[in-house]
Structure 1
Amino acid sequence: MLIVEETFLLLTKDHGPTERVGAYRRHGLVTALLADLEEAGVVRIGDEADPKVTVVRGGATGRPVLDEALPALDGLSGTRLGKVLGAKALDPGTAVGRSLAAQGIVQEVPHRFGAPDFVVVNPAPEIALRRRLGEVLSGRRTATTADATELGILKALNLAYRLLAPGRGEFDRSTLDRTLVPVVQDRPLVAALQRAVPPVTASTTVAVTAPGAAGVAERH
């Protein structure tokens, strides 16, 4: 599964609506999308304070979610990462939801106006994902690029403590934050997202419940 698909599951309520992190949910999804594109060799992201995103390979990747973003990405090549994260043209939400629907993980619920919702019909992949991230936090698993990116996104959006229960075990907020620092450091994408999210926005997110913890997950 793509990093952006796993991030979508983490940032979407089981009954359809998205996590209430405002416009910054899109920033999180674009962060994950760029991580996938970097892994695929399509883009290069520098390591300076606000690096440029440069398209370094043309042609389709064979992954519809990634390929749908390529036209908009071409127009943003050479743009600073902080600006790219906020680009509405790169918002992969609907494309990712439809990809997960094709995999039988979610079901699309169309609306007459606006983007569709996506209801989780198979919670097993997200439960396994949360378990995997919990193993990273406990030191039983070495973080992959996907793990570090997803944990970094949750940290930047101030959702890690809520969304990683019960995988975070007995960690309180400060212990979890200290544990996440070495996992997500040296990740330009995560650092850019952290800068993009105002602390007051992140601090006002509301409590959530992990899937399977109490029937239908009511997150926020």
Structure 2
Amino acid sequence: MIRVLLADDDPMVRRHLRTILGSGTEIEVVGEARDGAEAVEEVLRNRPDVVLMDLRMPGVDGIAATREIATLAAPPAVIVLTTFDSDEHVLGALEAGAAGFLVKTTPAEDLLSLVRVAADGHVVMSPSAARRLLAQSSRGDTRREAAKARVAKLAEREREVLACLGEGLTNPEIARRLFLSEATVRSYVSRLLVKLDLTHRTQAALLAHQAGLLDGPGGP
């Protein structure tokens, strides 16, 4: 079973999400939280696999809660919920360690599928929204120079894997792209996260964009 925690200050939203997720035979809602502080407590109490986290909540918001959850041992995948995919706070949540984001109007069938994807350790967001948000993250000379300095210590193959993460590719897709085994890709991704002091492959994707690894032949 995939254990899911719902964190949203609106009881009607939580009820709606619980109803949808309850229709999935392999998904179990193990708890609910009305704010970020409760979300952290419920994660510690129930050890969910996935947290659906509202961004805007009173008191401790979704970004702060996500940041705290990311520091836990074996943290769950946090998927932030927002009303619009252009929400300026989404990027902050991704940098804090969220595995992706969903708009609250996501169709029921897609929501079930994406919860499964998140539980498997993959990034959850629409490709178009991902490109826009990741491009936004690379703006600013100071941020880009800092990212380039971090990436400079990587070997060429490591940079290639990081660039693939920036494209949002899964491990099997990276394996096919680079003619590697999936086991080798998993090893590269694990080493990259440690080497770059990152907690999640979504943060690696952000770094790849910030460093200009996806800028094409003219990039760094």
Q: TM-score if structure 1 supplies the norm length?
A: 0.24
Considering fraction of residues, name the structure with more strand.
2
Q: TM-score if structure 2 supplies the norm length?
A: 0.24
Which structure has the bigger radius of gyration? Answer: 2
